[in-house]
């Protein structure tokens, strides 16, 4: 193997595939990055067995020569060293050559590195996925869907299925649900060119977070292909594979109340800042709980009390309060997560009483719903 490549392009590619590489890889070879070069270009592959990312750098792009291959071949190089070396090389022209016994030479300017590689034959194959169950979502929309739901997955492994986001495709609609059993996020998206089949898969939250970092903010379509054990996201030259979680995702639809007794219309950002302040004194306490009181007027009160430290009270103007008076307590963290996910200026919070779950959503839009279980303090 022998080729020349522009350092900046190699760095871009490495920064994508490095996201899959873990320093605590179960299989030693997965601490490496696989390079496959031929006259078409260079494939880089990184994996931690759960996530596999492959990116392709073409030999030529828009008439510009990016890679000059003198000899095709493959090698696996220690990710940590290879990435650092490329980053610090003195010039933008890099030559990489593998001689006998996996000896890899990396040359740039008057600097020459010799790394001991591993045999590419020992690197795991890419997962096989049939291409017939397929749909596409623009990258920016996919990023929104991930951002609005993935924070609500469970951080605990006590129910592994809840560490993932449930993706269901049915009747031309994608419904994504995440819950840690204390709060829930649900996002519905109408699909163009929806697949005819129904899908129901559970994607690990960690995979979606990594995918989110790789996706750009363009509206370029991201192809999504699902099999029984794997999902593949295809964005431009990047392939992102994730294993799926096994098991049945719980039916969450019964959690969402069907009728409400108090509706509060309020500016989401104002409420977020107020909850953030009230939570300052509540952080040390077990649940980071704040109190929320609606007395029938157009003003609600946010408060919290830590006997050792002090207390805080704040009035928040609402657009309107409809229905019964209410005193309720909830986790400030869950509330702030939900308000950040909705992002919109005008939101509505719908309560069914102090002991029942309540929901938050945009005042104009039903596609995103956030649900929070209150905390019993009264």
If one asks whether residue 345 binds a copy of itself (CB under 8 A), the answer comes out as no
**Which positions ≥6 away from 324 have C-beta within 8 Å?**
261, 262
If one asks whether residue 78 binds a copy of itself (CB under 8 A), the answer comes out as yes
**Exactly one of 61, 112, 130, 365 binds a copy of itself (CB under 8 A); which one?**
112
**344-354 core/surface letters (b: 16 or more CB in 10 A; e: else):** beebbbbbbeb
Q: How far is CA 84 from the centre of its chain?
A: 26
Question: Residue 276 and residue 283: Cα distance in Å, rounded?
Answer: 10
Nearer to a copy of itself, 8 or 84 (CB): 84
**Using CB under 8 A, which of the segments 160-168, 257-265, 309-317, 365-373 binds a copy of itself?**
309-317
CB of 5 to a copy of itself, least distance (A): 18
Question: Strand, coil or helix: what is 103?
Answer: strand
Question: Residue 248 and residue 182: Cα distance in Å, rounded?
Answer: 19
Question: Residue 370 and residue 378: Cα distance in Å, rounded?
Answer: 24
If one asks whether residue 197 binds a copy of itself (CB under 8 A), the answer comes out as no
CB of 306 to a copy of itself, least distance (A): 9
If one asks whether residue 222 binds a copy of itself (CB under 8 A), the answer comes out as no
Nearer to a copy of itself, 21 or 312 (CB): 312
CB of 272 to a copy of itself, least distance (A): 11
Nearer to a copy of itself, 63 or 307 (CB): 307
Enumerate residues 234-273 that contact a copy of itself by CB under 8 A.
273
Beta bridge partners of 116: 103
Torsion angles phi and psi, residue 376, rounded to 5: -80, 115
Torsion angles phi and psi, residue 76, rounded to 5: -115, 125
**Using CB under 8 A, which of the segments 33-41, 77-85, 183-191, 214-222 binds a copy of itself?**
77-85
**Exactly one of 71, 88, 229, 355 binds a copy of itself (CB under 8 A); which one?**
88
If one asks whether residue 314 binds a copy of itself (CB under 8 A), the answer comes out as yes
CB of 336 to a copy of itself, least distance (A): 12
Using an 8 Å Cβ cutoff, are 295 and 325 in contact? yes
Question: Residue 80 and residue 96: Cα distance in Å, rounded?
Answer: 17
The closest alpha carbon to 44, from 101, 110, 123, belongs to: 123
Enumerate residues 34-73 that contact a copy of itself by CB under 8 A.
none
Give the binding site for a copy of itself (CB under 8 A).
78, 81, 84-85, 88-90, 104, 110-116, 273-274, 276-277, 280-281, 308-316
């Amino acid at each position: 193997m022998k080729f020349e490549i522009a350092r900046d392009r190699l760095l871009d590619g490495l920064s994508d595939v490095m996201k899959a590489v873990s320093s605590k890889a179960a299989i030693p070879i997965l601490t490496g990055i696989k390079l496959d070069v031929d006259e078409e270009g260079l494939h880089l592959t990184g994996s931690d067995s759960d996530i596999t990312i492959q990116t392709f750098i073409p030999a030529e792009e828009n008439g510009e020569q990016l890679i000059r291959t003198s000899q095709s071949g493959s090698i696996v190089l220690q990710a940590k060293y290879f990435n650092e070396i490329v980053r610090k090389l003195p010039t933008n022209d890099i030559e990489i050559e593998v001689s006998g016994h996996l000896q890899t030479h990396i040359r740039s300017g008057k600097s020459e590195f010799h790394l001991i590689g591993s045999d590419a034959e020992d690197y795991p194959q890419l997962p096989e996925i049939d291409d017939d169950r397929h749909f596409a979502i623009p990258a920016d929309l996919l990023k929104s869907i991930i951002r609005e739901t993935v924070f609500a997955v469970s951080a605990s492994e006590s129910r592994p299925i809840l560490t993932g986001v449930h993706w269901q495709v049915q009747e031309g609609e994608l419904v994504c649900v995440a819950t840690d059993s204390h709060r829930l996020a649900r996002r519905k998206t109408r699909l163009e060119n929806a697949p005819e089949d129904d899908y129901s898969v559970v994607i690990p939250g960690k995979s979606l977070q990594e995918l989110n970092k790789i996706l750009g903010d363009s509206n370029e379509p991201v192809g999504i292909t699902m099999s029984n054990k794997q999902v593949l996201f295809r964005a431009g030259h990047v392939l992102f594979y994730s294993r799926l979680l096994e098991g049945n995702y719980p039916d969450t639809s019964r959690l969402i109340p069907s009728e409400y007794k108090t509706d509060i219309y309020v500016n989401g950002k104002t409420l977020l800042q107020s909850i953030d302040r009230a939570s300052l004194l509540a952080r040390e306490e077990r649940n980071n709980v704040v109190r929320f009181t609606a007395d029938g007027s157009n003003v609600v009160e946010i408060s919290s009390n830590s006997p050792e430290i002090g207390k805080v009270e704040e009035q928040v103007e609402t657009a309107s309060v409809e229905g019964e008076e209410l005193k309720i307590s909830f986790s400030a963290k869950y509330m702030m997560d939900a308000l950040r996910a909705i992002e919109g200026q005008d939101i509505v919070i719908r309560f069914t009483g102090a002991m029942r779950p309540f929901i938050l959503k945009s005042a104009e839009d039903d596609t995103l719903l956030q649900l929070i279980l209150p905390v019993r303090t009264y």
